Amino acid sequence: MYAIIALSAIVLLIIISNVRIVSQSNAFVIERLGAYNATWSTGIHVKMPFIDRISSKVSLKEQVADFAPQPVITKDNVTMMIDTVIYMQITDPKLFTYGVINPMSAIENLTSTTLRNIIGELELDETLTSRDMINTRMRTVLDEATDPWGIKVNRVEVKNIAPPKSIQEAMEKQMRAERERRESILKAEGEKQSAILVAEGQKASAILKAEAEKAAVILQAEAAKEAQIREAEGEAQAILNVQKATADGLNMIKSVNADDPLIKLKSLEALQKVAEGQATKIIIPSEIQNLAGLVTSVAELARK
């Protein structure tokens, strides 16, 4: 009786000891009698006592591998130190377990050789300005190489590039010279812009002055024209007034029924006024000549 109880307790203890719980984002690789049997995912699993064993416990989370700086030589024979960071994830626990011995060491060595090959094709300036290209090429090469190991390389980042001290000093001098050159260019451009603005201001001032003088000339011409128009209008009005006065005089003479001798006498008086002028030749109508002779005859008879 006691033997059965003891045996049952031992069996129960063995079963309990072979129960395993696989947590999230993990996987267990199981071997049976030394050969691969299965890969346990998340959940409760029971292995066969004395037959099955857990070969490896693998994390399926993304991992970050920060490798030490590696010395590399550029195409123009400049030695620099470059360190990289790799973001990777295990996608196949079986291949990761049986694909390669010490996968992290293998990835580190592969990273180092790949980096040397890529940098060896670039010159110093290209290396310093081509990080995106270096990252892309390294990720492509590493992802293809680690695929048989059950590893997916998601990203590769060049963390730091450290040229030799002499190169750094030369680069600093070059940068300082470049900044001074840009400063000189900006100063020259400022002076040029200032000169252009001054010239444009002088041009605008000259244009405004010319326009003002032109406007003054136009105003003066318009004033002179207006004066001439008013003077001509005045002269025309004077002529009209004279003509009107003459017409009024003729109308008055006509209205008093003046006879022919009176008209001839008035003509003689007008001739007298004309003779008082500066003219050297006077044309006298025949009617006025006859009248003048008649007047002379009357005067002679009166004296007798």
Collapsed DSSP state (helix, strand, coil) of residue 70:
strand
Range in 29-43, 199-213, 227-241 with the lowest mean pLDDT = 227-241
Is pLDDT at 215 greater than 80 in this prediction? Answer: yes
Q: Is the Cβ–Cβ distance between 79 and 72 less than 8 Å? A: yes
Helix axes 260-275, 286-303, angle to 10 degrees: 90
Does the domain at 62-163 match CATH 3.30.930.10? Answer given as: no
Q: What per-residue confidence (pLDDT) applies to 226?
A: 85
**Residues linked to residue 53 through DSSP beta bridges, in sequence order:** 31
Q: What per-residue confidence (pLDDT) applies to 104?
A: 87
- This model's pTM is above 0.75: no
- Percentage of the chain lying above the pLDDT 90 cut: 19
